[in-house]
Amino acid sequence: MRQKSPAQRHGDNGGRKRAPGRPRSEQARLAILRSTLKLLGENGFSDLTIEAVAAHASVGKATVYRWWPNKAALIADAFASSTTRKLHFPDTGSVRADMSQQMRQVIKIFRSRRGRILSAILAAGQSDRDVIAAFRERFMKPRRQDAYATLRRGIARGELGKDVDLDLLLDSLYGPIYMRFLIRHDNLTPNFVDGVCELVFGGARPGRKLRARGRRSDQ
């Protein structure tokens, strides 16, 4: 996804020899990614042009096209390369507190300038499956791994039922955030995060599931 085939010449080719010819300019690569992020943050996805990226990065247009097959790939790559800030899951001894604190970090990012880039990516992803796949793989997946660990600690401590569906639980926690973020229909506040945790963890505490099913079958 990240690069076109010629770039594979420069990958991790172990002890093999370097390819002949002038090597790829790392400087150009970084300038392009930086310019992409900058312009994305300023004008959103639809106003981002390769022409502007190249000009802003003082780079030939062909250099962009040589390494990225299309705008979506460029954006995905730029976004991935920018995941500098760590979204940390603490270990307070309470799943809910752990999750809640991380979710507060998330909404902070969503409301920052990086949120604009993120929404541009998700927008681009609606008509390009590579972009959305890149988002999942590079942004969501690593965080999910951490979240699994946090949730499993909760299960071990008996705060959550043993048979809880982790993805269902995580989608239920983060889905409301994404909804408010993307549809912008209300403020993304810490209070809102608390409310969601309240509801979802309230429904996820051990022993509830059976009773819930029971209640449902009663109807």
Partner DNA sequence: CAATAATCGAGACGGTACGTCACGTCTTCTT
Partner DNA sequence: AAGAAGACGTGACGTACCGTCTCGATTATTG
- Binding residues (CB under 7 A) for DNA: these are 6, 9, 17-25, 28-29, 31, 49-52, 57-63, 65-67, 70-71
Beta strands in the chain (DSSP E): none
Q: Which is nearer to its own copies, 19 or 179 (CB)?
A: 179
Instruction: Work out the number of other CB atoms within 10 angstroms of the CB of residue 184.
Output: 10
Contact residues: its own copies, CB under 8 A:
44-47, 92-94, 96-97, 119-120, 122-127, 129, 132, 135-136, 140, 165, 167-169, 171-172, 174-180, 182-186, 192, 195-196, 198-204, 208-209, 212-213, 215-216, 219
Q: Are 117 and 37 in contact (CB under 8 A)?
A: yes
Report the alpha-carbon distance of residue 120 to residue 110 in Å, rounded. 12
124 binds, among its own copies, DNA, none (CB under 5 to 8 A by kind): its own copies
Between CA 90 and CA 62 the distance in angstroms is 45
The two structure tokens encoding residue 73? 């790939």
Which of DNA, its own copies, none sits in contact with 184, Cβ below 5 to 8 A by type? its own copies
58 contact, one of its own copies, DNA, none, CB 5-8 Å limit per kind: DNA
Token output for 82: 């920018």
Shortest distance in whole angstroms from residue 129 CB to DNA: 16
Residue listed under structure tokens 């390369």: 81
- The least distance separating its own copies from the CB of residue 149, rounded to whole angstroms, comes to 19
- Taking a C-beta distance cutoff of 8 angstroms, is the pair 143, 106 a contact? no
